[in-house]
Chains A and B, each alone.
Chain A
Amino acid sequence: MEDLHKSTLESQEVGWDGGRVVAAAKAFFRRSAFLSNYLIAFLLILVLNFTLPRLMPGDPFQAIYGEEALLAMTPQLKAQLVERLALDQSMGQQFLAYILALAGGDLGHSYYYNQPVLSVILDFLPWTLLLTGSALVLSTLLGLFLGIESGFRRGRHLDKTLLASLMFLNGFPDFFMGIVLLLIFGVVWGLIPLSGALTPYSGLVGLPLAIDILHHLIAPLAALVLVRVTSAYLLTRNTMITTLKENFILAARAKGCSEGKIKYRHAGRNSLLPVVTATGLSIPQMITGALFVEIVFSYPGVGLLLYNSLLTRDYPLIQGILLMVTVVVLAANLLVDLLYSRLDPRVSHAR
């Protein structure tokens, strides 16, 4: 990697156009090698999703649709489905059919909602994205901010207080935190709605609608953030403490930089990197957490949907949701990786 990057530099210096082209091509290959990791992971997920139900003993049909569904199914419908899933043909053709169906957005049919799985999921997904997305961003930013301030004042009063209280919060499971919040703010004080993502049939638009959404969002969001902030905080604080010992911090001080500049521009930025990585890694947990919290708050997201589909044994829907969630996790990781390479010049040049 070193070599690659050196040669890139050199060719730039010489200003030889061919060099630039070569460099660009190399950069492209590096980038595509990086993306191909994600592609491979995606394919693996598809294969798994395809094979697992078919590997189960007994009728694949039963595995895909579940017993109750089969009982309720007319022979006509069954024949139709056999044809569509190519169940009477070879595995290869079945897979092809499966991929083609996916490409067409066909994740199967939810018999409970009597709608295509995709459209059911798409109804619920935005709320989950809103909840997890904002929880992820908020807990990371808050963790960073608190971690930077705390690490900068290591051993002093603020640091000790923050450390103790955040460690305490981190001890709770998120759904438990959700229940506590719901009981106190919703049931006892009546400050927050007990369920839903917005007031139904209120006809609100614009700002009032946004406020209404926020009002519904705040408690589940708080539950997630309060529990999740600690890991970002701890990591930031630790990195901050090590970063502050680095020579370039001393050099920045020697330049006459103010404490604020040292804290954020130098130490903070350098402490950001591991936190970004960790955030990427924590996405699956965050989503799991969100699924539970949604159930607690009856928040109409994918978590609630999954819960319901489990209760009703709506297998196509369950499989669709799992596929969707893994794809979302993958996409989020990709985003984090891209973000990281933007933040750290060493990675963007070396990759």
Chain B
Amino acid sequence: MLEISDLKVSYGGDEILAGIDLDLFRGDSIAIIGESGAGKTTLGLALMGLVDGRVSGRVLLDGVDIAALDDRERRKIRGKDMAMVFQNVEDALDPLMTVSDQIGEAIFVHQDRGDPRGVGDRVLRLLGSVGLEEVKGRSYPHQLSGGEKQRALIAMALANDPQVLILDEPTASLDAVTKAEITKLLLERMKGKVALVITHDLSAAARLTERMAVLYAGRIVEIGETCDLLENPRHPYTRGLIRSSPNMTTTKDLQGIPGRMVHGVCGCPFSERCTQRIDICDKVVPPLAEVGDRSIACHRGGIVPLLELSKIRTKFGKFVAVDGVDLTLYEGETIALVGESGSGKTTLAKTVIGLFSHQEGEIRLEGVPLARRDRGFYRKVQMIYQNPKESISHRMDVFDAVSEPLAVQKAGGSAERIATVKRVLEEVELSSDDDFLAKYPHQISGGEAQRVAIARALVLNPKLLIADEPTSALDASVQAKILRLLLNLQEKRGLAILFITHDIALARKVSDRMAVMLDGKIVEEGLTSVVTTSPVHPYTMRLLEVAPDLAPARVARGARETGPAGGGPWNISELLPLRAREL
């Protein structure tokens, strides 16, 4: 019903929208997701015909190209067949007109002959349908609360029962309770229409829409079913966006995306910030291609699988330590391999790195079956151990320890090596002065030694880091810093991490996905948030039960909060039982 093809908008010389293609049908609801500057609002305005810049491309509404219509014709469609609710409720209503007059005006301007009575009745019905009382209609905007204004704006957009409804940040700037109410209202009113929800708020988008299009620098980079896309983002940008959005679903710490958005690059708009870019990326714009029920604009078909294990079996004599494991680790992702000692997780890790050899199954690295582990392999895959002494010989000083892999790889001259070592040491937040470089393992603390080990692992700039209980020998505060460091490196370099731990609470904070191992098998695998909140396998449940928990403290604090003396902003009496129940 609404077909958008190759829609471009530019202001001056800047291309804000660089060719949008989107087909929507009656009953569709799609979220346009992106950060500020991505061109979301421009897209909405361009559809309405309200941008000042140069517009090209086609917008077919029921087969008519409305982008080609003249101003007069376009005006007849605006607010009638296609309506928009603007963001920033505060000044989207004319301060000098009553709410009813403003809603009525939307109807009036599309009538050939004025029918004040009919309009009045319809306004009343509209007010009712968005849950506003009649007195609110007679009020001026400044007399309404934010939520009421938003309702009025929705009523205004619905005035002529449009086929296409564009909502620009419909719930931004509303408090949580109002947000929930407005969301409910919108869900009802969006039925049977084409609804575009423009927002940067992933949770609002998740509640309101069935599909989602991710906009980056004026291009759509990924389209998919909303829940599927949020759980399993395939475009590197989508994943970055989700990782950097605070929400109640994911459990991993927030991570950002390096760099910032630039418009008008000639290749993939994301190439500047992408950690898996290849040569073609900054030369050719990747087309939006369908992959299953997803559309992705990426030369590599989205986030690439870095390590694929299929049916791996590792035996020691008769004892099967790893028993048919399938696991895929994607670029820039952390999988936590969780299990007790003896579950085979360390064996699996050592099988991957080549310390043990597997009898059955296949290991693929970047899509290529692994034949033997040559120098090229160790450039891409590195491992750190629980005890840094396992990676660093006590006879080597810091410089030797970190630069040894470079020597093995015969990489660079000596001056270059020194520079590289210093840079990596700084990256892991260690001192890079000559004093420190000359220290031996027994002269530095455990935390520092582990950092040196990490520096040694990273000096070749690997794509995959296997970390076997890297922090279990450290104090909690040092552990937190090391983990933070690994997450930062992941953010910056797109490092994939296979994180082996027995501590499910720790795994929950650092991993995107989680695989639970028992007796050499993976018994449960999935998104960390899902595995930790609704585990399926009894063993996972058991692990979660015994995981460290600060609950008693939280209960006590909660009770204080809901107590009458708590007061605060929540002293609305109806809310108290609700919150108490939640506890």
Query: Which A residues are closer than 8 A to B by beta carbons?
Result: 5, 9, 12-13, 246-248, 250-258, 261, 266, 269-270, 343-346, 349
Please give the number of chain B residues whose Cβ is less than 8 angstroms from any Cβ of chain A in the complex.
Answer: 35
B156 located at the interface, meaning its Cβ lies under 8 Å from any Cβ of chain A in the complex: yes
The docked-state distance in angstroms from the alpha carbon of A251 to that of B89 is 11
**Residues of chain A with a CB closer than 8 A to B80's CB:** 256
Q: Determine how close the nearest CB of chain B comes to the CB of A152; give it in whole angstroms.
A: 14
**A contact residues around B142 at 8 Å (CB):** 345-346, 349
Q: Are B48 and A246 in contact (CB under 8 A)?
A: no
Which residues in A have their C-beta under 8 angstroms from that of B385? none
Chain B residue numbers with a CB within 8 Å of A269 are 94, 96
| Given A9-B139, A248-B91, A346-B142, residue A258 in contact with residue B96 (CB < 8 A) | no
**Could you say which residues of chain A place their CB within 8 Å of the CB of B84?**
254
A113 → chain B closest CB, angstroms: 49
- Complex CA gap A9/B110 in Å reads 33
A346 to B94, CA, bound (A): 12
Kindly list chain A residues whose C-beta atoms are within 8 Å of the C-beta of B93.
Answer: 248, 251
Contact A256 B109 (CB under 8 A): yes
Which residue of B96, B98, B105 is within 8 Å of A257 (Cβ)? Answer: B105
* Residues 140 to 199 of chain B near chain A (Cβ within 8 Å): 140, 142-143, 153, 156-157, 159
Is B78 a contact partner of A247 (Cβ separation < 8 A)?
Answer: no
A254 touches B75 (CB 8 A): no
A sample of 11 more A-B contacts (CB under 8 A), given A13-B133, A254-B157, A256-B106, is A9-B143, A12-B135, A13-B135, A250-B45, A254-B48, A255-B106, A256-B78, A257-B79, A258-B75, A345-B96, A345-B140
Whether B76 is near chain A, meaning CB under 8 Å from some CB there, is yes
Check B50 for interface membership: any CB of A closer than 8 A: yes
Q: Taking the nearest CB of chain B, how far is it from the CB of A140, in angstroms? A: 18
Contact B75 A256 (CB under 8 A): yes
Residues of B that sit less than 8 Å from A by CB: 45, 48, 50, 75-80, 83-84, 86, 88, 90-96, 98, 105-106, 109-110, 133, 135, 139-140, 142-143, 153, 156-157, 159
Which 3 A-B pairs have CB atoms at the shortest separation, nearest pair first? A256-B79, A255-B79, A345-B140
B11 to chain A, nearest CB (A): 15
Q: How far is the CB of B299 from chain A (nearest CB, A)?
A: 38
Q: Among B45, B79, B135, find the residue whose CB has the most chain A CB atoms closer than 10 A.
A: B79
Contact A345 B135 (CB under 8 A): no
Distance (whole angstroms) from the CB of B149 to the closest CB of chain A: 11
In the bound assembly, the distance between CA atoms of A260 and B96 in angstroms comes to: 17
Our pick among B83, B133, B139 for the contact of A254 (Cβ within 8 Å) is B83
Contacts of B77 in A (CB 8 A): 256
Assess whether B91 is in contact with A258, with CB atoms less than 8 Å apart.
no
Query: What chain A residues lie within 8 Å of B143 (beta carbons)?
Result: 5, 9, 349
Given A250-B50, A256-B106, A346-B142, A270–B95 Cβ distance below 8 Å? yes
A19 to B406, CA, bound (A): 84
Tell me the interface secondary structure of chain A in the complex: helix
A253 to chain B: closest residue by CB: B50
Q: List 11 A-B contacts (CB under 8 A).
A: A5-B143, A9-B143, A13-B133, A248-B94, A251-B86, A254-B79, A254-B84, A261-B105, A270-B96, A345-B142, A349-B142
Cβ contact within 8 Å between B135 and A255: no
Q: Are A252 and B140 in contact (CB under 8 A)?
A: no
Q: Once the chains bind, are A257 and B109 in contact (CB under 8 Å)?
A: yes
Q: How far, in whole Å, are A257 and B105 apart by their CA atoms in the complex?
A: 8
A261 to B97, CA, bound (A): 13
Looking at A246, A251, A254, A258, the one whose CB has the most chain B CB atoms below 10 A away is A254
CB contacts (< 8 Å) of A248 on chain B: these are 91-95
CB pair B79–A258 under 8 Å, yes or no, is no
Instruction: Select B109's contact among A5, A251, A261, A346, beta carbons within 8 Å.
Output: A261
Closest Cβ of chain B: how far from A84's Cβ, in Å? Answer: 53
User: B50 to A251, Cβ gap below 8 A?
Assistant: no
Known contacts A247-B91, A250-B50, A345-B142, A255 near B96 by CB under 8 Å: no
What chain A residues lie within 8 Å of B50 (beta carbons)? Answer: 250, 253-254
Partner of A345, one of B92, B95, B109, B156: B95
Roughly how many angstroms separate A12 CA and B134 CA in the complex, as a whole number? Answer: 12
Q: A255-B156, A266-B94, A349-B143 given as contacts; is B110 within 8 A of A250 (CB)?
A: no
Most B-side CB within 10 Å, residue of A13, A247, A261: A247
A251 in contact with B135 given A5-B143, A270-B95, A270-B96 (CB within 8 Å): no
Assess the B95–A346 pair: CB atoms within 8 A: yes
A252 CB to nearest chain B CB (Å): 7
Provide the residues of chain B in CB contact with A257, threshold 8 Å.
75, 79, 105, 109
| Chain A residues with CB under 8 A of B157 | 254
Cα of A270 to Cα of B76 in the assembled complex, Å: 25
Determine how close the nearest CB of chain A comes to the CB of B396; give it in whole angstroms: 65
Of chain B, the residue at the smallest CB distance from A267 is B94
B residues within 8 A CB of A253? 48, 50, 78
Identify which of B92, B98, B105, B110 contacts A247 (C-beta below 8 A): B92
A250 → chain B, closest Cβ, in Å? 6
Measured in the bound complex, the distance between the Cα atoms of B94 and A256 in whole Å is: 15
Q: Which residue of chain A has the shortest Cβ distance to B90 in the bound complex?
A: A247
Beta-carbon contact of B91 and A255 below 8 Å: no
Closest to B98 in A: A345
Contact of A255 among B90, B98, B109, B133 (CB under 8 A): B109
| Contact A251/B139 with A269-B96, A270-B95 known, Cβ cut-off 8 Å | no
